[in-house]
Amino acid sequence: MPRRNELEHKALHVIVNNGNDGVLQSELWRKLDATSREGSRIALKLETKDLIRREKELYEGRWTYRLFPKRKPASLNSIINSPCLMCSNDARCGAWSTISPNECQKMTQWLLDLAKGETESSGEI
Ligand code: SF4
């Protein structure tokens, strides 16, 4: 059904753009000009696809859900320390080239450091 797919796509776009603030379900449907029934179905579908998470929230005396994206678009900050940005082999490097990120020690080390940092900040070790 094209309208539902289109709404699903638009809803995900709004949710992702709101990032960590999330968006109230009722607010989202107003923005998309959808009924609350359509909206609830779409939110459940997006959650089932593991694209969003819903958190129950009391808003103006009524229970609703705040919707958060599970994946966020990559930001420039996430790659600012990448070794590729200052690499003299950048133009010759590619997945199928003789110089490849698959074999690059600098890339491997950078990814290991990133993973280590994330593990330590989440309390996992
Ligand atoms: S993957 Fe390694 S060799 Fe390739 S551009 Fe990045 S740092 Fe350079």
What is the pLDDT, as a whole number, of residue 4?
Answer: 63
Residue 54 Cβ contacting ligand 1 at under 6 Å: no
Residue 51 Cβ contacting ligand 1 at under 6 Å: no
Whether the full predicted model's pTM is greater than 0.75, yes or no, is: no
Q: Where in the chain is the domain with CATH 1.10.10.10?
A: 2-69
User: If you average pLDDT over residues 47-66, what whole number do you get?
Assistant: 94
Residue 75 has pLDDT above 80, yes or no: no
pLDDT-derived band at 46, boundaries 50, 70, 90: very high
Q: Beta-carbon neighbour count of residue 50 at 10 Å? A: 9
Residue 84 Cβ contacting ligand 1 at under 6 Å: yes
What is the pLDDT, as a whole number, of residue 1?
Answer: 47
Residues 13 and 53 sit within 8 Å (Cβ to Cβ): no
Q: Which helix (H) or strand (E) holds 54?
A: strand 52-59
Which residue in 6, 47, 50 sits closest to 25, CA to CA?
Answer: 47
Domain 2-69, what fold?
Arc Repressor Mutant, subunit A (1.10.10)
What is the pLDDT, as a whole number, of residue 72?
Answer: 78
Q: Residue 99 CA: which ligand 1 atom is closest?
A: 3
**Mean pLDDT, rounded, of the chain:** 88
Residue 110 Cβ contacting ligand 1 at under 6 Å: no
Which residue CA neighbors atom 1 of ligand 1 most closely? 101
